[in-house]
Amino acid sequence: MCIAVHVSTHAALPKPLPGIPYNSKSAQRFFGDVPFFKKAKYRRQWLWNQPREHGVPVSQVFLFPFRRPTVLVTDYREVVDICSRRSKEFDRGTRNKECIGVVAPNFHFTMQTADPQLQFHKKLIRDLMAPKFLKEASAPQIYEKAIALIALWKLKAFKGYGRPFSVSSDLYSATLDMICAVAFGMEDTSSALQHEISHVQNISPTFPNVEGAPACFPPAPVTPELEGLFNIPEMVSIAQASPFPSFSQTLALLNPKHARAHWNRKTLIMRQTDRSLQRLTLAGLPECRSALDQLLWREMNAAKAVGRLPDYYSPVIRDELLGYLLGGHDSTAATLCWWVKYMSTYQSVQIRLRDALRQAHLDAYQTSRLPTIDEICDTSVPYLDAVMEETLRYASIATLIVRTSTCDTQILGYQIPKGTDIMMSLTGPSITEPALPIREMSRSLESQESKDKVHPWDEDVSQFKPERWLKLVKNTNSDEKEEVFDPRAGPNLAFSAGPRQCFGKKLAYMKLRVVVTLLIWSFEFQQLDQSLNGSDIIEKLVNLPKDCYVKLAGA
Q: What are phi and psi of 269, to 5 degrees?
A: -60, -45
Radius of gyration of the chain (CA): 25
Strand partners, 91: 404
* Contacts for 551 with CB less than 8 Å, ≥ 6 apart: 162, 163, 164, 344, 525, 526, 527, 528
Asked if 297 contacts 280 with a C-beta cutoff of 8 angstroms, the reply is yes
- Do the bridges between strand 409-411 and strand 481-485 make them parallel or antiparallel, or are there none, so unpaired? unpaired
What is the helix (H) or strand (E) element at residue 301, kind and residue range? helix 291-306
- Do the bridges between strand 70-73 and strand 421-425 make them parallel or antiparallel, or are there none, so unpaired? parallel
What single letter denotes the amino acid at residue 89?
Answer: E
180 is in an annotated binding site: no
Half-sphere exposure of 379 (CA within 13 A, CB side): 21
Q: What share of the chain is helix, strand, coil (3-state, %, to 5)?
A: 55, 10, 35
Half-sphere exposure of 105 (CA within 13 A, CB side): 8
Query: How far apart are the two ends of the chain, measured CA to CA in Å?
Result: 78
* Contacts for 523 with CB less than 8 Å, ≥ 6 apart: 150, 153, 550, 552, 553, 554, 555
Angle at 149 between CA 227 and CA 333, to 5 degrees: 55
What is the helix (H) or strand (E) element at residue 343, kind and residue range? helix 315-345
- Do the bridges between strand 58-61 and strand 90-91 make them parallel or antiparallel, or are there none, so unpaired? unpaired
Q: What are phi and psi of 429, to 5 degrees?
A: -50, 130
Integer Cα distance of 424 and 403 in angstroms: 8
Half-sphere exposure of 332 (CA within 13 A, CB side): 31
Q: What are phi and psi of 367, to 5 degrees?
A: -100, 10
Coil vs helix vs strand at 60 = strand
Integer Cα distance of 324 and 109 in angstroms: 10
Coil vs helix vs strand at 369 = coil
- SS3 letters across 437-485: CCCHHHCCHHHHHCCCCCCCCCHHHHCCCHHHHEEEEECCCCCCEEEEE
Please say whether the dihedral angle defined by the alpha carbons of residues 289, 131, 193 and 255, taken in this order, is positive or negative. positive
Annotated binding site for heme: 502
Annotated binding site: 502
